[in-house]
Amino acid sequence: MLHSQPQIKPPLETSGIDFSDVRRLVVLIPDLEVDEATLSRKIYALAQDHKLDVLLVSLVDDPGNEFHALRRITSIAAIIRDAWVHVETQVVFGHNWLKALKPILQPGDMIICSEGQTTPYRLLQRKPLDLALAMALHHPVNVIPDYFEEQRSLWPNWIKRLPYWLGVAAILVGFFFIETDVNHMVRDWAGQFTLLLLVLVEVGIIFGWTLVAG
């Protein structure tokens, strides 16, 4: 089956854009800090003018950022939602908007993404996200100004947490050798009691380390 040429929308200037077949705006929310009020007003104006539902989709590549992503889109949804505009939210885990959107999109959806967003394309190249989405998903795409701030940490969360886990590992290894020596030297009830005390001390140290570095 041949698909019609996907429609690339200009920045969010609604004059001249045919919304007759559009039923819902699917707004892409990157895992970045954003001017929530300004973005919300922009989306609300478009949804209200054309009586459209809104789906806010946040793509999260690090499970440790799920809470912040959920808080972000919940705040945006609260600003947009009223008696005339129905808003839903969804957090998707992954690295690729194309894969994330395929099971979500429905007939009548228009994708809203920010200018400047790109997606990997061929070897060491990147492609404008709006063009890639329109060509691959065959849905109209509208580009809005970029309200997002590049404040992503240079270090993934697992690297930032590495000192904590190294500390836990050092505690476990150290007490393992101590408990092994005690078990070899003392085998009666006194040895068992000593091992129990060591385990309690070990748990206490790990708990204290968690409070300090966790």
- Between these two residues, 20 and 54, which has the higher pLDDT value? 54
pLDDT at 132: 87
Range of 108-112, 162-166, 208-212 with top mean pLDDT: 108-112
143 touches 115 (CB < 8 A):
yes
- Among 22-36, 60-74, 99-113, 186-200, the least confident range: 186-200
The answer to whether 118 touches 148, Cβ cutoff 8 Å, is no
- Do residues 147 and 62 make contact, with C-beta atoms less than 8 angstroms apart? no
pLDDT at 141 over 70: yes
Q: What is the pLDDT of residues 34-82, one digit of tens each?
A: 888 888 998 999 898 889 999 999 998 887 788 888 998 999 999 999 8
Give the burial class of 205: count Cβ atoms within 10 A of its Cβ; 0-12 exposed, 13-18 middle, 19 or more buried: middle
In Å, what is the CA distance from 199 to each residue of 22, 134, 169, 195, 206?
63, 59, 15, 6, 11
Q: Percent of the chain scored above 70 by pLDDT?
A: 80
Q: For residue 4, give every residue at least 6 positions away whose Cβ sits within 8 Å of its Cβ, in sequence order, or none.
A: 138
Contact assessment for residue 47 and residue 91, using Cβ atoms and an 8 Å cutoff: no
Please report which confidence band the pLDDT of residue 165 belongs to, taking 50, 70 and 90 as the band edges. Answer: confident
- Per-residue confidence (pLDDT) for residue 157, from 0 to 100: 55
| Contact (CB, 8 A) for 134 and 8 | yes
Cβ–Cβ < 8 Å for 36, 72 = yes
